[in-house]
Structures are given as structure tokens and as C-alpha cells.
Structure 1
Amino acid sequence: MDDDIERLRSLLLAMSEVDVEGVKYRELRAQLISELVRMRAEQDLLERLRSVQDQVERIGARDPDFNLKDFMDAGWE
């Protein structure tokens, strides 16, 4: 484990006065894991969105004269 992470873990445990053998420790551990999973999912989402953003950029600027209603109406004809 990285030294900084170990120091942060120790500090967090000391500040929260958690018995590492107790239920509160397990709850705290579960919360930390949950937060890491959330952050990872967010990072993955940003990575997935990057390719979509690249495609939009390649399409170019939006046509200011484009009328979505007319376009959709033409699709029904």
C-alpha cells in the first residue's frame, strides 16, 4: 500500500476513534470502498464520453439555419 494512503488511513482511523475490530470500522471501510467505486465509475464515464465528444467535434459547428421541426416533419412524409 502506498505510504501516503497508509498515513491517511491511519489518520482517518485515529480521528474517527474507530475500533478496527468493531462494526463501525467495517461500516467505514464499506463507505470508503463505495466512494472509490463511485469515483471509478465517474472516471470510466468520462472516458466513455470522450469518444462521443470527439465525434461531435468532428461533425463541426451547428447549422444556425437548421429547423428540427421541419426536419422531423419531413421524416413523416
Structure 2
Amino acid sequence: MDDDIERLMSLLLAMSEEDVEAAEYRELRAHLISELVRMQAEQDLLERLRPIQDQVDRMGARDPDFDLKSFMDAGWE
């Protein structure tokens, strides 16, 4: 999310042609984050989860023979 904020800040600075002090930058960053959180909260939960559900669907059916413990143990070796 920081990359998006940086792009928004760069765009704002380019449009305003002003030099923003560090404190003002932090205030603006906090305001942008707050606004993004507010807008996300307005979305229906099912709408927010839909992209995740789509990714799971694309992964295909679960392998019933998959042994998670063996897989995790092999990762530690």
C-alpha cells in the first residue's frame, strides 16, 4: 500500500507545485490511509472476499492424499 501512497503523494506534489514538509507529508499519508480504510469498510464483505475466492477456485480441487505435516517437516530439513 505504501507504493500507492507514494504515487498519490507524487501526483499531489506535481499538481500543487508545493514543497511539503515532513510533518505535512505524514499528516497527508495518514489521511490517505484513513480514507482508503474507510472506503474499503464500505464494501460488502462478500465483494472484498470475491478475489480470494476466485484464486482458490483457480487452484483446483484439493488433493485428498496431501500430507501437510510431511510437507512442513520437509521444509525444515
Q: TM-score range by the shorter chain?
A: 0.3 to 0.5
TM-score, with length taken from structure 2: 0.44
TM-score, with length taken from structure 1: 0.44
Larger radius of gyration: 1
Q: Which fold has the larger relative contact order, with Cα–Cα distance below 8 Å and residues 6 or more apart in sequence?
A: 2
